[in-house]
Amino acid sequence: MAKQENLEDQDYRARSTALRLLARREHSRLELSLKLRQRKLPSSVIDAVLDDFEHEGWLDDQRFADVYSRQRMDLGYGPLRILSELQQRGVKQSPACLDDMTEEDWCTNAVRLREKRFGLVDLSNDWDEKVRQSRFLNRRGFSASQVESALEARASEDWE
């Protein structure tokens, strides 16, 4: 009988912990699973709880990916970085908000980020500064063509 009570206690702990974490923010299934494993809960209990939460609609990787991607785009991150971070969090498919963005949209975002961080000065004679800004935009997850477009932008051009 003690073993049955222990399993019910583990199930209750897993459910309450997962629900508390989901109340704070969206999580991917992998993230939630890792956080529950850190609390030394059995894998069988974790899987059952996460399956139930997915069935109830409380846990949804696509919803998480959409929310996460929008937040990262608002913070000035590019598509390569966002997709990489989603993969690290166990999300395999690209969310619709990323798929809806065109190459031109990403170039515009890169230009805005460069303008906010460095200004849109002419870099044709300053190789060191051009490399520095290029590295910054690359670390933010923009592709080579998007970075090149951002570096060619001048203050007189309209990027709205």
pLDDT in tens, 120-146: 988 888 999 999 999 999 999 999 999
Cα 18 to Cα 147: distance, rounded to the nearest angstrom: 40
Whether 39 and 70 map to the same domain: the answer is no
Asked if residues 86 and 69 have their Cβ atoms less than 8 Å apart, the reply is: yes
Domain count of the fold of the chain? 3
CATH code (residue 107): 1.10.10
d(CA 14, CA 60): 17
| Mean pLDDT of the 19-32 span | 95
Largest CA distance in the chain: 79
- Which pLDDT tens digit goes with each residue over 93-130? 999 999 999 999 999 999 999 999 999 988 888 999 99
Tell me, yes or no, whether 97 and 107 share the same domain: no
Do 81 and 121 lie in one domain? The reply is no
Domain that holds residue 24: 2-59
Report the CATH number that the domain containing residue 46 is assigned in CATH: 1.10.10.10
21 and 31, same domain (yes or no): yes
Please state, for a pLDDT cut of 90, what percent of the chain lies above it. Answer: 84
